[in-house]
Structure 1
Amino acid sequence: MRRGLRHLALATGLLAALAACETSSLAPRETGVPPHARPDALAPEPEMPEPPQKRSLASRDLETYYARIQNDLLAQGLLRTDGGGPDTPFTDTMLLRNFERIALAEEYERGAGLRPSRGELGYIKKWTKPIRVAVEFGELVPLDQRVQDRNMVVQYVNRLAGITGHPMSVTSGDANFHVLFMSEDDKAQIAPRIRTLVPDVNPSALDIFKRLPRSIHCLVMAFSERPGGYAYGDAIAVIRSEHPDLLRRSCVHEEIAQGLGLGNDSPNARPSIFNDDDEFALLTTHDEMLLRLLYDPAVRAGMDAEQVRPIVRARAATLMGGES
């Protein structure tokens, strides 16, 4: 402020001097002498950019914590990225069993926050309308990481569209599936953003995002198009930006796939990312088959186990190389 006032005073003085010269008979009206450049001291100072925000100690501690978790898992031979192999065989019967546990049961009770469900088989949940995915970032996510993560989501969404045959794309416009990469420092923005995206969100669901414990690396919530329905209309995935690359990619793979309707985990599913043992980091061949089963045109949102079982049994046999 003080520097600005001084510049204003100097400019006013120059204008007064020029006015005096114009009325003097000693000063020529025209001259061939080029004017001197304006002194540097009189040039307006360039606007200084806002100092970049600094990540909090809590965010940096989380980054160290998750890096240690990834290193520990890798040292144990976990977080595999090979999609399964000869050491992880499965049959069509196992595929059907895993489909029922992962697609028909729910990990948490509906409308009850993070309260685990009792594991009963429910109803098929899936998208029936095109999925338009938007990618958003918290303010302190580094720019190079944003580019990397957005490209990762684009590639994965294209892959899922090919697997399911369902229309899916990443968009910068109107979206119904939002992937939010947020840091600990962005936590206060998450709940208001979700309320903007889904105005009628259940308060208990919103509370999850307000007090997200560090034991939850990432999560997704899918919302039915109609109250009490089973066809999805919106979904929001939140992924911690403090994760190292592989854990962050693992979160993207699992949460977007779960947001398509594979909402549960099973300790018997192998090779699969829908298993809390962290053996696999990325979508496996087994998981691709689960998605193909879920998005078979004969499998409809709202079907129960008795209705869907014969369809999935025949389709699973075909996928495994048998006869339908």
Structure 2
Amino acid sequence: MKRILLTGALGQIGSELAVRLRELYGSDAVLTTDVREDRSEAAQGGPFQLLDVTDGRAFYEAARVHRADTIIHLAALLSATAEAKPLFAWQLNMGGLLNALETARELGCQLFVPSSIAAFGPDAPRQGTPQDAPLRPGTMYGISKAAGEQLSDYYYRKYAVDVRGLRFPGLISHAAPPGGGTTDYAVEMYVQAVKNGSYTSYIGKGTFLDMMYMPDAIASVALLMEADASRLKRRSAYNITAMSIDPEAIAASIRRQLPGFELRYHIDPLRQAIADGWPDAIDASAACEEWGFRPAYDLDRTTDEMLTTLSRKLLSSGGGSILLPQ
């Protein structure tokens, strides 16, 4: 990858991926785009452009003018927000994807398209969910991701578009605020542990979901996009995961550093129902075998970095913090 167009650059993944891509390929090589602008490094650290991905002509022109050879298309509405706005979610998630695929086809670009564990439905095996399990999602977000996988495969077979993708688990990050995902409770728990020493979870005890620390997710995108195409037996949706955890597991990990941390529950029926329709733990062996996927962070290492970094951020902002042990 040399010249990259990144959509959804100010979201949870994009805000960190943009920084890493500029480190790898140079600041001027990465054009970041979003429907809004802010003062983050993703927007200010190199070329940035306002872009509505549902505008196909604007999408194409942005890639053409930048002379992009790679598109990383992250713009989408996430699970809980999509369920509240299903029509808008379909229009954004599928309309934006179709424009990304068409632009990649017309300009000969490599294309990365993220999928999600939400693409699986409640009838998928909950433990060790295989790479090729049937996709019968029960949410609009999951439906758009499952349809997106099929559409991406179609463009690969019919037009030879070099499209690649990952089924992301829940992602844990300290760099950007949660963006409306069901698994965002994990990020919120770390933030509230540092600020208040307690957290009220909207997801119930014993609700296990796949998770991953953001540096592993970022590394996985770069690794997959650089992989030898001849090794890839699949295209649009490799299962990846680092850990299967529930709120109690995160709380126990936090208490290693903050023994007084309190976890309470007030279940959100919408997000609990979404979580109950997803696997407990997926099988990522295909990604390991075909392009060398290996997560570096387990739960405790993730917790240590999250608490330390969030504590420093809060102290530097003058907001006060629970002091962590050295």
TM-score, length basis structure 2: 0.28
Which structure has more helix as a fraction of its residues? 2
Which structure has more strand as a fraction of its residues? 2
TM-score, length basis structure 1: 0.28
Q: Which has the higher contact order (CA 8 A, sep 6+)?
A: 1
* Max Rg structure: 1
